[in-house]
Chain A
Amino acid sequence: AQKVTQAQTEISVVEKEDVTLDCVYETRDTTYYLFWYKQPPSGELVFLIRRNSFDEQNEISGRYSWNFQKSTSSFNFTITASQVVDSAVYFCALPHRDDKIIFGKGTRLHILP
């Protein structure tokens, strides 16, 4: 069965601190993709990153970085030097071969000034 677990329901950190959001997934597919989406207070879903299971290299985009570890079925997201604008709900997602996207329940991140 496909499953995405985001164990952290809510996290609060002070601005400029680093923070890591955890994502653990289950899949029977041998190849697959993983996504992270951001949902700011305005409510829209913003695509952040897509990762192919073939590529286990970590990815960095500015203050954002992603650690994909196939051995532990994890795809964690780190924000370095957090800013108030990073406050949002973050979703990890796993597309299934029959076109369904399975979402985690999300982690609400509060960046305190």
Chain B
Amino acid sequence: NAGVTQTPKFQVLKTGQSMTLQCAQDMNHEYMSWYRQDPGMGLRLIHYSVGAGITDQGEVPNGYNVSRSTTEDFPLRLLSAAPSQTSVYFCASSYSGRTGAAYGYTFGSGTRLTVV
């Protein structure tokens, strides 16, 4: 099915380990983003991209890296995992700009990450 695919769905890491959360979409959307969801904090933007080769920081970028080498993929890298990064991570995609706002955003099913 077309949409946003996130892998893995669950992950447990030890403090200091690194890993990459994968996000792929097949809708030819220019815009992709990563959010983290924590209790009482809603969804907070980590990084986003308005097209291949272009990325920018969101509200809570520290400890995370992203790259956008293709339109389809937008991986999120945790360089050295910390317990504070325990969260649920969502990837989203849309058409860019006003078109994206007009047509809405598609979210992946989420990755639940626990750092011990």
Contacts and interface: CB of A to CB of B under 8 A. Distances in A.
Interface range on chain A (Cβ under 8 Å from partner): 20 to 34
Contacts of A47: 104-105
Contact of B50 (A6, A52, A99): A99
A6 B101 CA distance: 20
Interface stretch (B13-21, B35-43, B64-72, B74-82): B35-43
A105 B96 contact: no
A103 B101 contact: no
Contacts, number: 55
B48 A45 contact: no
Interface string A69-113: 000000000000000000000010001011111111110000000
A63 interface: no
12 contacts: A6-B42, A9-B40, A43-B110, A43-B112, A45-B90, A47-B105, A91-B42, A91-B43, A95-B105, A97-B97, A100-B48, A106-B42
A51 B45 CA distance: 22
Given A44-B107, A44-B110, A100 B45 contact: yes
